[in-house]
Chains A and B, each alone.
Chain A
Amino acid sequence: MTSPAARQVTCPTVARGLSKRYGLRGAWVLDQVDLDLQPGTLTVVAGANGCGKSTLLRVLAGISHANMGAVVQRPHSVGYVPERLASRMPMTGRAYLGHMGRLHGLEAGYASRRAEQLAGRLALRPGLDAPISSLSKGNRQKVALAQALLAPVGLLLLDEPWSGLDPAAAEGLSLEIASARQQATTVLVTAHRADATAGADRALELVGGELRALGRGHEEPRGTGRMVAELAPPADLAGAFVAPAWMAALNPTFAEGRWRFVLQAEGALDQLLTRALSEGWSVRLVAPVAPDGHLEVADGGQGRRC
């Protein structure tokens, strides 16, 4: 499958002094929020129900307008997944994703293949040809995710994307997010709980309209934020030169009998290693990439060029 030329913006999306309230005398849902979203990073915004997470995403997506402040360098096309998808949509998933693909400027054949791929990866049941109105809540959520992941975008905004997803779909979504980040897509997700921030480059909390760092060690991206893993296949796959489907999205390279991965976050790495070990693979190397491009391996400083 050939992908269209990536049109991501490589400069950060920046929000400055965002303030938003509903009505003339309503409380400030967002209060002087500043946010820098670097390309290829995953930012998680946690917070309680009604704290303004969805409003922040809507303002960042350009759907809603802030009363004060501005979002600068917002990419032209944004992948946005709301908390829920409409239940009375009269189209099938295939028709809807086809239209969304055309809105993204995708060629029809590519959009169709990509929709099939996402439907498989997100375990959409009963499939793309069912009317969206007939789907369960979880499967409507998968259609919403698929439309956002259909094309390469500069900014991916996901409102509580894991809520309501089954484990297979959650794993597929994690792989897609990892793949998007490797293409320099900036990803921002919201979550209710702080434990959903595993693997994020930055974890933030929205409280009283103000955005602040959540927990120590998450405030800033660590080092380059990239990790390298080398995996050796089990004996029955030792002669195969094609990566299994579940790891293909991570774009591994093959050399000397090992598959090598460069990942943007530890979360994606954890998921890769868990899956690999469960499939009988051996982990030969895991190391962070230092800012100078060497691997930070504990071998007396003899790091290898990444």
Chain B
Amino acid sequence: MLALVRYLGSDVARSQTWVPPFLVYVTLCLADIALGGGTTRNSLPTFATDAAFLLPVAIWVTVAVGNCEDVVQASITVATVGSETKVRLAKLLVAYLGCAVLSVFSVAVGWASTGLASPGVTLEGFAAHLTSAAAGVGVGALCMRPVLDRRAWAVLAGVFATLAELIVPDCPPVRQFLVLMDASRPSHLPGGLALIGLESLALSSALVGAAIGVGRART
């Protein structure tokens, strides 16, 4: 698995398909701080907003990683590895690692710009980012090849999933983060974060399982 992740990571890094989503996310984080997130001197809303931003970006990163290999190149990889499921999971892992890098950047910037938050709050902010990334990777699994072959459909599905996250009440994790991490209710945070994390993990696992099943039927 390590060799596979190294190969896929190297392929993505060289292809530069990761650059647009990374740039967009960095811009969003900096804009959030510049437009007021950092002026409150309370890190939690900033972390919640940046974690919410990470969800659509994680979908984008996942599609970029999943579709980076040419179809023919990907078929060689599957034959060499001997398992298309293993290859698909490795791609999702690479996408998640990329989102983890973005999470580190976002939390570091938020921490520095909002008056150096306490270690506990910083850790909670990082956990929120990783949870959001997990949900985004799960949705992205359903937007990449072989489930959705065309880029236009992938974009539509990603936008639809992001809107659903924002609109559907109690939908994990974005909507719940924005409510929970409101500065007025910090005491509920650790337990609430753990619950959202479990819900998001279950949601992401179900989406990845569905993506593997649909992908298998489509090949």
Please give me the residue from chain A that is nearest to B15 by CB atom.
Answer: A90
Query: CB-CB < 8 A to B10: which residues of A?
Result: 91, 95, 99
State A173–B182 Cα separation when bound (angstroms). 66
A304 sits at the interface (CB 8 A): no
Are A63 and B75 touching (Cβ within 8 A)? yes
16 A-B pairs whose Cβ atoms sit less than 8 Å apart in the complex: A62-B84, A63-B78, A63-B219, A76-B82, A77-B82, A78-B80, A80-B75, A82-B75, A86-B69, A86-B70, A86-B72, A95-B10, A102-B3, A103-B4, A103-B7, A147-B80
Query: CB-CB < 8 A to B80: which residues of A?
Result: 77-80, 100, 103-104, 147
A84 sits at the interface (CB 8 A): yes
Give the Cβ gap from B66 to chain A, nearest Cβ, in Å. 15
Query: CB-CB < 8 A to B75: which residues of A?
Result: 58, 61, 63, 80, 82
State A144–B7 Cα separation when bound (angstroms). 16
Give the Cβ gap from B39 to chain A, nearest Cβ, in Å. 42
Are A103 and B3 touching (Cβ within 8 A)? yes
Query: CB-CB < 8 A to B71: which residues of A?
Result: 86
B170 sits at the interface (CB 8 A): no
State A293–B22 Cα separation when bound (angstroms). 66
Query: CB-CB < 8 A to B4: which residues of A?
Result: 103
State A91–B77 Cα separation when bound (angstroms). 14
B11 sits at the interface (CB 8 A): yes
Are A91 and B70 touching (Cβ within 8 A)? no
Give the Cβ gap from B60 to chain A, nearest Cβ, in Å. 19
Query: CB-CB < 8 A to A64: which residues of B?
Result: 219
B151 sits at the interface (CB 8 A): no
State A79–B4 Cα separation when bound (angstroms). 16
Give the Cβ gap from A271 to chain B, nearest Cβ, in Å. 27
Task: Count how many chain B residues have C-beta atoms less than 8 Å from C-beta atoms of the other chain.
Answer: 27
9 interchain residue pairs of minimum CB distance: A86-B70, A80-B79, A90-B14, A99-B7, A102-B3, A61-B79, A86-B73, A63-B75, A78-B79
Q: Mark B5-17, 1 if CB is under 8 A from A, else 0.
A: 0110011001110
Query: CB-CB < 8 A to B14: which residues of A?
Result: 90-91
A62 with B79, Cβ < 8 A, contacts A85-B73, A90-B15, A91-B14 known: yes
A212 sits at the interface (CB 8 A): no
Identify which of B15, B16, B76 contacts A147 (C-beta below 8 A): B76
Give the Cβ gap from A153 to chain B, nearest Cβ, in Å. 9
State A238–B96 Cα separation when bound (angstroms). 63
State A75–B72 Cα separation when bound (angstroms). 21
Size category of the binding interface on chain A: 20 to 34
A85 with B72, Cβ < 8 A, contacts A63-B84, A102-B6 known: yes
Query: CB-CB < 8 A to A84: which residues of B?
Result: 72
Query: CB-CB < 8 A to A62: which residues of B?
Result: 78-79, 82-84
- Which residues on A are within 8 Å of B, measured CB to CB? 58, 61-65, 75-82, 84-86, 88-91, 95, 99-100, 102-105, 144, 147-148, 157
B112 sits at the interface (CB 8 A): no
Query: CB-CB < 8 A to A89: which residues of B?
Result: 11, 70, 73
Give the Cβ gap from A13 to chain B, nearest Cβ, in Å. 13
Please give me the residue from chain B that is nearest to A131 by CB atom.
Answer: B14
Give the Cβ gap from A248 to chain B, nearest Cβ, in Å. 26
Query: CB-CB < 8 A to A105: which residues of B?
Result: 3
Are B81 and A103 touching (Cβ within 8 A)? yes
Please give me the residue from chain A that is nearest to B79 by CB atom.
Answer: A80
Query: CB-CB < 8 A to B216: which residues of A?
Result: 65
Identify which of B6, B15, B72, B82 contacts A78 (C-beta below 8 A): B82
Query: CB-CB < 8 A to B84: which residues of A?
Result: 62-63
Give the Cβ gap from A39 to chain B, nearest Cβ, in Å. 18
Identify which of B6, B76, B83, B217 contacts A144 (C-beta below 8 A): B76
State A76–B81 Cα separation when bound (angstroms). 8
Query: CB-CB < 8 A to A103: which residues of B?
Result: 3-4, 7, 77, 80-81
A80 with B7, Cβ < 8 A, contacts A88-B70, A89-B70 known: no
Query: CB-CB < 8 A to A90: which residues of B?
Result: 11, 14-16
Within 8 A of A (CB), among B56-95: 69-73, 75-84
Give the Cβ gap from B115 to chain A, nearest Cβ, in Å. 42
State A300–B15 Cα separation when bound (angstroms). 67
Query: CB-CB < 8 A to A147: which residues of B?
Result: 76, 80
Please give me the residue from chain B that is nearest to A102 by CB atom.
Answer: B3
Identify which of B16, B79, B83, B219 contacts A65 (C-beta below 8 A): B219
